[in-house]
Amino acid sequence: MPQLTYLEAIRQGIWEEMERDPTVFCIGEDIGIYGGAFKVTDGFIDRFGPERVIDTPIAESAIVGAAFGASLTGMRPVAEFQFMDFLPCAFNQIVNMVAKAHYRWGAPAPLVIRGPSGGNVHGGPFHSQNPEMWFVHAPGLKVVCPASAYDAKGLIKASIRDNNPVIFFEHKYLYRRIKEEVPAEDYVVPLGKARLAREGRDLSVITYAAMVYVALEAAEILAKEGIQLEIIDLRTLSPLDREAIAQTVRKTNKVILLHEDVRTGGIAGEIAAIINEEAFDDLDGPIVRITAQDSPVPFSPPQEEYFLPKVSDVVREARRLHAY
């Protein structure tokens, strides 16, 4: 199987869907001639032409409005945001129009809004955020956050084929750092199904996106001490795989909830509530949250490192919880 970067996997997934289905098209800022801010759509305009790779003004609300309208006519737009930090510029379109289309009159709205999110790249407070929870809170939207190249390709293809609107967060730190074997043949990864990233017996770490690799690195350190972490990669935050969450807690009886998003209102709080509702009697210790701090993302590299969850945080809290 060929080895692909996380970025190239997403690029191939969109390309293959455009080849497969003539109703799929891309729209966004600088995605055509320039090939996208991170080059995800590099070469697309040469293959598919300006009718299917549409450069737009810097107007996120207009991009989503045009994509939404096209989706109501049977098209399947893929709208790129240069940075997902700018989703608020289209918040009304996304939350009050796109998310409610099916509820209001049964209309499918098969559009994908995708782009880079996340920190650890020293992008500062306007280019490093994890804004996924704004949209997890909005009924009618699916929210996807892949961690691996295999999942990135399979999930973008599944998102494009879905008849519901999908917000697809691509962690920019992973774009060119993650590389793995990805099948050449067509495949999809189902939305709403978590992945067992590492099997373990002593503690569960439930996480997603770039934090999967923080958890995996911590697991290697702890394994030398005889502590076996089980790591669940959520893949999709809406819908959440409640069954996978409950199953891992019933197995290990202790759980760490790890995410790069800020603490207050993060997905860890929601998952903790699910565990209390569905697996409380299986807990042998307190639910532990490891998250970013309630602050804008610092620009300064040392401050950003302090702000973000780290391997050492997971190792420390896992030791403490294991001994509880």
Q: Where on the phi/psi map is residue 259: left (φ > 0), alpha (ψ -120 to 50), or beta?
A: beta
Q: According to DSSP H, which parts of the chain are helical?
A: 6-20, 44-48, 60-72, 91, 101-105, 132-136, 149-161, 211-223, 242-252, 267-278, 301-307, 311-322
Known catalytic membership, residue 137 = no
Q: State how beta strands 76-80 and 236-238 pair.
A: unpaired
Contact 261, 231 (CB under 8 A): no
Name residue, tokens 């320039």: 34
Q: Indicate the residue type of 316.
A: R
Among 102, 122, 127, 171, the active-site one is 127
Nearest to 254 by CA among 321, 320, 164, 307: 321
Cα(58)–Cα(285) distance, integer angstroms: 49
Q: Cis bond leading into 146, ω under 30°?
A: no
Cα(177)–Cα(147) distance, integer angstroms: 11
Cα(29)–Cα(59) distance, integer angstroms: 8
Q: According to DSSP H, which parts of 35-148 are helical?
A: 44-48, 60-72, 91, 101-105, 132-136
Contact 71, 77 (CB under 8 A): yes
Name residue, tokens 């996807």: 144
Which of 220-223's residues contact partners 24+ apart within 8 Å by CB, and which partners?
221/311, 221/315, 222/315, 222/318, 222/319
Nearest to 141 by CA among 106, 172, 97: 97
Looking at the annotation, which residues are catalytic? Answer: 127
